[in-house]
């Protein structure tokens, strides 16, 4: 692998970092020190990492170097700096989820994804910010404050993995762990101009001992996934996260068809008559052409399985359990954005009793069947990430829950289906506003998403890592 020897170490991809550490060209401690220096230099401008313990980071790096010196086999992410989201259990750290009420909720064991990164010999760099309750496409809370989008601070960095996306975009770590129940990996990747994978249900084991018994909706729709600056690094992160763990009753592994599935794709610009911003549609058609240029057969479709209904079901399942307690918890926290989101969703779905929940689960099964049949015919499907370019900061507060939801059917409908979705950043418009597309494949076909993603990425992606843009530079 060719390594840019004149570039700062913190700019290396995860693949490059692991390569030079495996070969002994650079030590894990050198990488850790360079990345910590980068964090100190740019994190005050963007507030992506809200907790970092430098000496513990260096201790992890020293352990990797000692392992190599002893002649032991290193893991695939040896010495690679990785960030962990603050709603994910990491032993000895608070699983705060952006809440003042959980600021001292210290995890006593690791979530399986944390163990996966440690098994791969990654170095855990720090904890990334999220909105209160991880409930918005905007990353802000009363515990740690707001995270800024490093490409354009007038835009949201996305949510809920906004800190994760802002970190990797700025060179604070090569891979970021996130999770996605309504777009929380994919939307931050879209807004910050990097890539993110939402694996299918059951592909990545997850379990937080700090909150061991989640509602059925969260169990069916919330998944763990990686964000990174290259598709190759997304792939490496996904591989590290995929290990078996019996604490997750939904884990099943996966089947891979990437090498046997024909290069056949489809896309739809306006499913169910949904309008999209012109730049978003151009990005979608550009991605389709990139696949055609690489020898793929790509077909434009006018009709696809339902997305609006899937989005509604997603919200029913998300807010079905303990509605009164959830609302009271949000009111007690007093976070304006979280209150708007939760109240708006509850008004939309109405009172959910046993019969309503049963009907939603039954209808969800029918939609899953319809989507799996569709994706069997069209193994790769391209879809816009949103009807709009990335939202401006606090646009939900200014325009309301309904406006945001009506522009996020492409993002929030898919978790109810449970198939893998890859967000690929393909370029910038209007100077520094990211655009990109989503790639869907059938159940267990993450590899196919990633292979198509590499083909699309090869013909252009926004430059990264970048120096964060200051507010006065965009005014």
Residue 256 reports pLDDT greater than 80: no
Give the integer Cα–Cα distance in Å for 85 and 127. Answer: 5
Structural domain contains residue 47: yes
Question: How much is the pLDDT for 40?
Answer: 98
Chain segment 61-106, per-residue pLDDT in tens: 999 999 999 999 999 999 999 999 999 999 999 999 999 999 999 9
Structural domain contains residue 343: yes
Give the integer Cα–Cα distance in Å for 191 and 186. Answer: 9
Could you tell me the pLDDT band of residue 472, with boundaries at 50, 70 and 90?
low
The 10 Å CB-count burial string (b at 16+, else e) for 275-304 is ebbebbbbbbebbbebbeeeebebeeeeeb
pTM for this predicted structure: 0.97
- CATH number for the domain spanning 280: value is 3.90.1300.10
Structural domain contains residue 136: yes
Among candidate residues 177, 230, 231, the one with its CA nearest the CA of residue 451: 231
Residue 45 reports pLDDT greater than 90: yes
Structural domain contains residue 428: yes
User: Parallel, antiparallel, or unpaired for β 264-267 and 380-383?
Assistant: parallel
Centre a 10 Å sphere on the Cβ of residue 95 and count the other Cβ atoms it contains: 21
Number of domains in the chain: 1
Residue 318 reports pLDDT greater than 60: yes
Structural domain contains residue 2: no
Residue 31 belongs to domain spanning: 9-473
User: For residue 320, what are the contacts with CB-CB under 8 A and spacing of at least 6?
Assistant: 215, 216, 217, 349, 352, 356, 357, 360
Average pLDDT for the chain: 96
Among candidate residues 129, 50, 68, the one with its CA nearest the CA of residue 97: 129
SS (H, E, C) 175-230: EEEEEECCCCCHHHHHHHCCEEEECCCCCCCCCCCCCCCCCHHHHHHCEEEEEECC
Could you tell me the pLDDT band of residue 4, with boundaries at 50, 70 and 90?
low
On whether the CB atoms of residues 272 and 307 are closer than 8 A, the answer is yes
Residue 475 reports pLDDT greater than 50: no
**Tokens coding 125:** 């760099």
Chain segment 274-307, per-residue pLDDT in tens: 999 999 999 999 999 999 999 999 999 999 999 9
Structural domain contains residue 154: yes
Show which residues are catalytic: 85, 160, 184
Structural domain contains residue 4: no
Residue spans of alpha helices (H) in 223-277: 231-241
Residue 327 reports pLDDT greater than 80: yes
Range of lowest pLDDT (252-256, 341-345, 384-388, 404-408): 252-256
Structural domain contains residue 1: no
Give the integer Cα–Cα distance in Å for 242 and 177. Answer: 12
**Tokens coding 58:** 């260096």
Residue 474 reports pLDDT greater than 70: no
């Amino acid at each position: 692998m060719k390594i840019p020897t004149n570039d700062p170490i913190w700019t290396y991809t995860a693949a490059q970092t692991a390569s030079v550490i495996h070969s002994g060209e650079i030590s894990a401690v050198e990488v850790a020190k360079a990345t910590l220096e980068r964090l100190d230099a740019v994190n005050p401008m963007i507030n992506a990492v809200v907790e970092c313990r430098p000496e513990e980071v260096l201790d992890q790096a020293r352990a990797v170097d000692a392992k190599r010196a002893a002649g032991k086999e290193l893991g695939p992410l040896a010495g690679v700096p990785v960030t962990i989201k603050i709603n994910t259990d990491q032993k000895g750290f608070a699983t705060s989820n952006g809440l003042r009420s959980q600021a001292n909720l210290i995890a006593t064991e690791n979530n399986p994804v944390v163990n996966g990164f440690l098994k791969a010999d990654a170095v855990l760099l720090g904890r990334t910010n999220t909105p209160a309750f991880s409930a918005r496409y905007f990353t802000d809370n009363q515990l740690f404050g707001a995270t800024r989008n490093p490409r354009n601070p007038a835009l949201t960095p996305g949510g809920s993995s906004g800190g994760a996306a802002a970190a990797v975009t700025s060179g604070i770590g090569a891979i970021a762990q996130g999770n996605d129940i309504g777009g929380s990996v994919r939307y931050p990747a879209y807004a910050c101009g990097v890539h993110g994978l939402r694996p299918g249900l059951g592909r990545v084991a997850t379990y937080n001992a700090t909150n061991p018994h989640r509602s059925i909706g969260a169990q069916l729709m919330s998944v763990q996934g990686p964000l990174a600056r290259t598709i190759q690094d997304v792939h490496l992160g996904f591989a590290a996260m995929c290990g078996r763990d019996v604490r997750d009753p939904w884990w099943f592994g996966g089947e891979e068809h990437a090498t046997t599935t024909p290069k056949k794709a489809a896309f739809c610009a306006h499913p169910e008559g949904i309008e999209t911003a012109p730049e978003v549609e151009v990005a979608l058609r550009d991605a389709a052409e990139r696949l055609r240029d690489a020898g793929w057969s790509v077909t434009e479709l006018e009709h696809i399985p339902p997305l609006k209904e899937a989005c509604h079901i997603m919200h029913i399942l998300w807010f079905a359990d303990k509605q009164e307690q959830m609302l009271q918890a949000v009111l007690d926290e007093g976070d304006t954005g979280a209150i708007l989101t939760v109240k708006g969703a509850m008004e939309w779905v109405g009172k959910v009793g046993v019969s309503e929940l049963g009907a939603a689960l039954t209808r969800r099964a029918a939609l899953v069947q319809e989507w799996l049949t569709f994706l069997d015919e069209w193994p790769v499907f391209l879809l816009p990430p949103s009807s709009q370019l990335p939202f401006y900061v606090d646009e939900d507060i200014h325009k309301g829950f309904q406006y945001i939801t009506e522009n996020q059917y492409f993002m929030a409908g898919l978790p109810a289906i449970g198939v893998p979705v890859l967000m690929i950043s393909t370029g910038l418009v209007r100077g520094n506003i990211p655009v990109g597309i989503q790639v869907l494949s059938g159940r267990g076909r993450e590899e196919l998403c990633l292979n198509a993603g590499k083909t699309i990425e090869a013909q252009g992606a926004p430059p990264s890592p970048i120096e964060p843009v200051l507010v006065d530079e965009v005014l």
